Amino acid sequence: MSIYVVPVGHLKEYTQGQERIAVPAEGKTVREILEALGIPSEVVAAVLIRDILVPKDHVPQDGDEVKLLSVLGGG
Amino acid sequence: MYGYGGKILRVNLTTGAITAFPTPENLARDFLGGRGFGIYYLYTEVPKGADPLGPANKLIASSGPLSGTPVPGAGKMDWTCKSPLTGGYASASVGGMLTAELKYAGYDSIILEGQAEKPVYLFMEDDRVELRDASHLWGLGAITTEVRLKQELGEEFQIATIGPGGENLVRYACIHHDFGRQAGRGGVGAVMGSKRLKAIAVRGTGGIQAADPKGFYQAARKMIKACKESEGLKAWQRYGTPMVVSWVQEVGALPTRNFSTGAFEEAPNLYGEAMRQKIVITDKGCFGCPSPCGKYSYTRRHGVYVEGPEYETIGMLGSDVGLGDIEDVAYANYLADELGVDTISVGGVIAFTMDCFERGIIGPQDVDGLDCRFGNREAVFTLIQKIARREGVGNLLAEGSKRAAQAWGKGAEDLAVQVKGMEVSAYECHRAPSMLLAYMTCDVGAHHNRAWAITYDIQTGRDTITPDKAARVIFLQHIRPLFDALGACRLQWVELGLDYNLYAPALQALTGVERSTEDLLRISERIWNLTRLYWIREVEGFGRAWDAPPPKFTKFPAESGPTKGQLTTWEEAQSLLDMYYAQRGWDANGFPTKAKLEELGLTEFAPY
């Protein structure tokens, strides 16, 4: 069982440029997955699954593609 | 002159005289347009010491060279005047369709001067320009007025209006356009109201000439393609600025109960998806926008439509006043829009009032018997209406939180979260040095749109007080307002990652004038420094004391949340200011040095 983390833009710096990372699903929250990947939660502005915003305590399901958006410039 | 509408319109509301003159080429060369034209005419034509609400003040509405063209987001218009809220420089930007229509009518700016004896509106249909009676519109809401004029004149007219807030000279009244957009800050709507100008209706059937049409279209198509291919586009289109509410909550920057803290326990009800599910009915964009951020909503509980609420209103009329239901925030947004007052300032004023009430500085007798505790939505709704109509306590609150605090005393001054008299917008910065410095030094008062620096603090650490933070703020203060001079939206760069270096070649193809990105940033720096000179000239004793941080961030530690117990000391704020002045080429009092003025070609403007 896997989910796929897709860091967008600057967030690829935290994944050595990888654009799509398969991680075991294992019932982890988004926050826990970020921690495991070494991506500070604070730099992730939005988490989307099928283009819908989900909170960081959401548990992705098998096969979900979890897109991570950084905070760009705001306001 | 390629790229421009070609003329500047001068409307004297006292005499009724309407004249036009060619847009000066040297003005376009040195100040670009938009807010650049605004500060130039404000500085050179409004006499020193003019009463902001008197006939000598001028309201300058300007498009920019990119307005109305195929580049992304080419729909921004600047409104500049002497501010009745701060006594200094006011510049407010509004998105929509009006800026394009103005250029198609053949104009780059409208200079509104004097005062009409009776309510009027300005009618413009290409070269046919008239002042018409507006007595049948006076007293109507800002949105209602737009509807009425479109019915009278035709849907193709683009219209700017004021509501009762502007008519009643509320010092933070705004100018409304396109069913829910505002030139919000600094009281530009009050200046329009002081001239008894209820609305401007524009129809233009001309076009814009490009120096290199093929090259310009290629440049614009490249930019639009980049926007369409942006990985963040879908999310941005679905949510707009409310997308960041959850992030701002997480990092402790969501203003809560008059900036007492940065995390609101009811915030999840205000998140982007909750809003989308509960009230959003469609997306709405400005002229030429490939990424419409506007969310047009309907609140069933209150039975009104509103564009919004966007992030700032969610912060200032939501968490900052203790409202945790998006339907209530939407209704407060609607009231502010229809009545014509800035949602940021009115939220800040109400939050300040609630803070004073809860601390016992004021009592029910001071607020017309209202229960002004945080979270009381009826108090929020009632106060917005009282303020717009200057009824009861609304008359004092219409003056802004700084003046209200002076009237109430007893420590209220420490609770007014403002800089230069303008209420701080929706980023709580007890411990966010770059963002705090941005608010301290913003050229219109405490507004985030010049330098949105909160992410820099998150990325580099909240605890460092270092020169790079000042450098970051200065860079942002040049690049972000550059868009306000160009007449285009910055959000394609800011939110979609569009390369801002694409604008210079597009502008060159349009105007035929060769300029690099650095050249454009230099013009923006020139504009920035001229706005500084305006403050120095107009405000007795202006200097670094006016760049002071709000006491809320230096005397009252954050009460809870991720920044609990934190604040920025006065000494740290002063240290940031020292670094900022030094990097700007200003002296220790915040005055641009003669060398800096010479470098920027501003020597002739110096009031010292």
pLDDT digits (tens, 9 = 90+) for B209-239: 999 999 999 999 999 999 999 988 998 899 9
In a domain, A75, yes or no: no
Q: What angle do CA A15, A18, A21 make, to 5 degrees?
A: 85
Structure confidence at residue B281 (pLDDT)? 97
> How crowded is residue B516: how many other Cβ atoms within 10 Å of its Cβ?
12
Classify burial at B541, counting beta carbons within 10 Å of its beta carbon; exposed 0-12, middle 13-18, buried 19 or more. Answer: exposed
Contacts of B272 in chain A (CB under 8 A): 46, 53
pLDDT classification of A70: cutoffs 50, 70, 90: confident
Structural domains in chain B, CATH included, are 7-203 (3.60.9.10), 233-423 (1.10.569.10), 433-497+516-605 (1.10.599.10)
Examine the pLDDT at A73 and tell me if it is beyond 70.
Answer: no
Tell me, yes or no, whether A59 lies in a domain.
Answer: yes
Pull the structure tokens for residue B250.
Answer: 């997480």
Confidence (pLDDT) at A72: 62
Structure tokens given for B438? 């941005």
- Min Cα distance B606 → chain A (Å) is 32
Cis peptide before B557 (omega within 30 of 0): no
Contacts of B234 in chain A (CB under 8 A): 48, 51
Question: Coil, strand, or helix at residue B150?
Answer: helix
pLDDT of residue B148: 98
* Residue B117 burial (C-beta neighbours within 10 Å; 0-12, 13-18, 19+): exposed
Q: Over range B557-563, report the average pLDDT.
A: 95
Given a cut of 60, whether residue B280 has pLDDT beyond it is yes
What is the predicted pLDDT for the residue at A26? Answer: 85
pLDDT over 80 (residue A75): no
Average pLDDT of span B309-329: 98
A11 inside domain: yes
Are A48 and B449 an interchain contact pair (Cβ–Cβ within 8 Å)?
no
- In this complex, do A74 and B454 lie within 8 Å of one another by their Cβ atoms? yes
In a domain, residue A21? The reply is yes
What's the token pair of residue B94? 């509004």
pLDDT at B277: 95
Contact B483/B500 with Cβ under 8 angstroms?
no
User: Do the domain assignments include residue A17?
Assistant: yes
Pairwise CA distance, residues B160 & B162, whole Å: 7
Closest by Cβ to B246, choosing from A43, A55, A74: A55
Average of per-residue pLDDT across B64-70 = 98
Check residue B184 and give its pLDDT.
96
Rounded distance, CA B438 to CA B449, Å? 9
Supply the Cα-derived Rg of chain A in whole angstroms.
11
- The secondary structure of residue B251, as a DSSP letter, is T
The percent of residues above 90 in pLDDT, for chain B, comes to 98
For residue range B173-186, what is the model confidence (pLDDT) as tens digits? 999 999 999 999 99
Higher pLDDT, B422 or A24: B422
Contact B232 A42 (CB under 8 A): no
Nearest by Cα to B481 from B515, B444, B507 = B444
* Predicted pLDDT at B68: 98
For chain B, the residues whose C-beta falls within 8 A of a C-beta of chain A are: 231-232, 234-235, 238-239, 241, 243-244, 246-247, 250-251, 268, 271-273, 311-312, 425, 448-449, 452, 454-455, 458-459, 480, 490, 493-497
Give me the CATH number covering residue A54.
3.10.20.30
**Helix (H) or strand (E) segment spanning residue B200:** strand B197-203
Residue type, B295: K
Q: What whole-number distance in Å separates Cα of residue B380 and Cα of residue B347?
A: 8
The closest of B231, B581, B119, B487 to A11, measured between CA atoms, is B231
Question: pTM for the whole thing?
Answer: 0.97
Partners of B28 in the β-ladder: none
Is residue A13 in a domain? yes
Whether the per-residue pLDDT at B108 is higher than 70: the answer is yes
Question: Which tens digits make up the pLDDT trace of B127-150?
Answer: 999 999 999 999 999 999 999 999
> Which residue of B235, B239, B244 is in closest CB contact with A74?
B244
Strand partners, B77: B94
**By C-alpha distance, which of B291, B297, B302 is closest to B229?**
B291
Identify any residues that bridge with B130 across adjacent strands, giving them in sequence order.
Answer: B123
Where in the sequence is the domain holding A32, given as residue range(s)? Answer: 2-70
| pLDDT score of A64 | 95
| Average pLDDT over all residues of chain B | 97
Our count of domains for chain A comes to 1
Among chain A residues, CA nearest to B245: A45
Which residue does chain A place closest to B448, by CA atoms? Answer: A75
